[in-house]
């Protein structure tokens, strides 16, 4: 792990990997969308509206997955002081919040025709809403300090405290009577969803994951470049303070 | 007396001397509860229906009020650094401060709640569940709030940020507390919900001091 702690090394690796990652993500998302919108069958009860599932479910999986990544990166940053781990956690947070928002909004749009309501306070929806606020709280906390490293470390503790929400989200449909349907893919006994729907779903999920990895690398590179820019600016202003450049003097001006 | 209890006594003495804390929290509790009959109308049936929710949410907000001063005063005058250097582990320091905070805010809220429940026409059969629920839930509020207070020590707009961080984590306590009250009012057993509240407190008691101590160490670096 510490072989990759060198930011310059990360920049070199990501420069090589990023275009391929992005291209593959685009390809998978395009394929997945075509399969989801045109090839996959309509549901016998829900009709064509079931196709929202191909956006809603991968977004939901990503919401929890990105939080787990963020918490894992926070733990690595706290325990081993791995420099890239802290940057990764900060970079992942807005992406996770975005996926959670997509999940909530697409779910709401799906719920209206199917359940007759835009929202219901059942366990699954409430716990995902709490996840959204945990993301927002993390983003607010890491940006609330003048010293960025203090903010990152405080956020790391918060991210680890909020991990307790992830099993609650996963098992909420088993532990409570919920309007949201129980697990159909990640369950003991295997998926109950039809194969013709499962494959487009998995392709979309893989596309979302690669999209996340691509955007995470982009944001981490941006953070590293911003840090380098800050360091260069500070060095330049220190040089300026120590030995100010002489400007050409006008006629009659004193030394 | 053990160092832990001495720290609790010191915090209690400081709160009594400053005087404001417990009184402000209770005054906020009473005033906010009183606002609701003005807002939704004084009809007893309606108020009885929403009484447990009002009492729990306002108790939560009142407990939230005094949290940012949990570590702030000690941090500003340097006593937090001194406490971190003592033989008492920082986790125990946090636990002692949480206990003192609960004695000054949570306990008075719990004791005052039945009086306010009268004002909201809460069904009298629900009073034991209300008091017991608050007694079991307010320690979790102090503990989880301490984590938030430690993490936001020294932050810009720390008070508002503290609310944003801590309220999502308060939601389980709120859900089970109100469920206990509603179950009792409807004639069902409140015991399962009260047991879950106790479980939340039992989970928070050993884990929150560690998270809060980690936050304090970051602030003291």
Q: How many domains does chain A have?
A: 1
Domain ranges for chain B: 3-220
Domain presence at residue A3: no
The minimal CB distance from A130 to the residues B147, B155, B171 is found for B171
Domain presence at residue A82: yes
Percent of chain B past pLDDT 90, that is, above it, reads 81
Domain presence at residue A13: no
What is the pTM (predicted TM-score) of this model? 0.88
* Contact between B168 and A126 using a beta-carbon 8 Å cutoff: no
Domain presence at residue A234: no
Mutate to test the interface with A, among B144, B160, B169 (most CBs of A within 10 A): B169
* pLDDT tens, residue by residue, B27-78: 999 999 999 999 999 899 999 999 999 999 999 999 988 888 889 888 988 9
* pLDDT tens, residue by residue, A188-204: 777 888 888 889 999 99
Which range of residues forms the domain containing residue A160? Answer: 18-185+193-228
* pLDDT tens, residue by residue, A48-101: 888 899 999 999 999 999 999 999 999 999 999 888 999 999 999 999 999 999
Q: Which residues, in sequence order, are bridge partners of residue B189?
A: none
Domain presence at residue A10: no
User: How much is the ipTM here?
Assistant: 0.85
B179 CB near a chain A CB, below 8 Å?
A: no
**A187 vs chain B: nearest CA distance in angstroms?**
25
**A68 vs chain B: nearest CA distance in angstroms?**
17
Opening angle at CA A69, ends A67 and A71, nearest 5: 70
The minimal CB distance from B161 to the residues A140, A150, A160 is found for A140
The minimal CB distance from A144 to the residues B157, B171, B215 is found for B157
Q: What is the CATH number of the domain that holds A163?
A: 1.20.120
């Amino acid at each position: 792990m510490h072989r990759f702690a060198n930011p310059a090394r990360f920049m070199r690796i990501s420069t090589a990997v990023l275009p391929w990652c992005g291209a593959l993500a685009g390809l998978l998302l395009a394929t997945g969308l075509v399969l989801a919108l045109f090839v996959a069958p309509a549901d016998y009860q829900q009709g064509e509206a079931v196709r929202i599932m191909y956006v809603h479910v991968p977004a939901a999986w990503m919401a929890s997955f990105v939080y787990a990544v963020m918490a894992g990166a926070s733990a690595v940053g706290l325990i081993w002081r791995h420099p890239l781990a802290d940057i990764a956690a900060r970079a992942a947070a807005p992406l996770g919040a975005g996926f959670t928002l997509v999940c909530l909004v697409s779910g709401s749009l799906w719920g209206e025709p199917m359940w007759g309501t835009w929202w219901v306070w059942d366990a699954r929806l409430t716990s995902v809403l709490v996840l959204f606020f945990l993301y927002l709280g993390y983003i607010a906390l890491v940006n609330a300090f003048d010293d960025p490293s203090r903010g990152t470390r405080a956020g790391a503790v918060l991210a680890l405290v909020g991990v307790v929400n992830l099993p609650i989200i996963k098992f909420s449909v088993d532990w409570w009577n919920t309007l949201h349907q129980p697990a159909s893919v990640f369950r003991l006994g295997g998926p109950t969803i039809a194969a013709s729907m499962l494959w487009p779903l998995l392709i979309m999920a893989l596309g979302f994951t690669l999209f996340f990895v691509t955007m995470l690398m982009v944001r981490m590179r941006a953070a590293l470049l911003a840090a380098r820019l800050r360091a260069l600016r500070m060095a330049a202003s220190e040089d300026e303070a120590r030995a100010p450049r002489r400007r050409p003097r006008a006629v009659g001006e004193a030394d | 007396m053990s160092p832990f209890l001495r720290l609790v006594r010191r915090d209690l003495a400081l709160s009594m001397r400053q005087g404001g804390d417990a009184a402000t929290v209770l005054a906020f509790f009473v005033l906010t509860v009183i606002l609701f009959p003005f807002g939704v109308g004084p009809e007893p049936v309606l108020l009885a229906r929403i009484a447990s929710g009002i009492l729990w949410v306002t108790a939560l907000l009142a407990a939230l009020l005094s949290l940012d001063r949990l570590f702030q005063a000690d941090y500003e005058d340097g006593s937090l650094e001194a406490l971190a250097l003592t033989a008492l582990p920082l986790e125990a320091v946090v636990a002692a401060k949480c206990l003192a905070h609960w004695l000054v805010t949570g306990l008075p809220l719990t004791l005052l709640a039945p009086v306010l429940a009268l004002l909201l026409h809460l069904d009298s059969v629900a009073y034991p569940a209300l008091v017991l629920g608050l007694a079991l839930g307010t320690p979790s509020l102090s503990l989880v709030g301490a984590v938030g207070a430690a993490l936001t020590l020294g932050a810009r707009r720390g008070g508002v940020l503290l609310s944003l961080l801590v309220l999502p984590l308060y939601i389980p306590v709120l859900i089970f507390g109100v469920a206990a009250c509603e179950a009792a009012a409807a004639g069902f057993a409140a015991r399962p919900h009260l047991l879950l509240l106790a479980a939340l407190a039992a989970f928070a008691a050993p884990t929150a001091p560690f998270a809060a101590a980690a936050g304090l160490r970051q602030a003291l670096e």
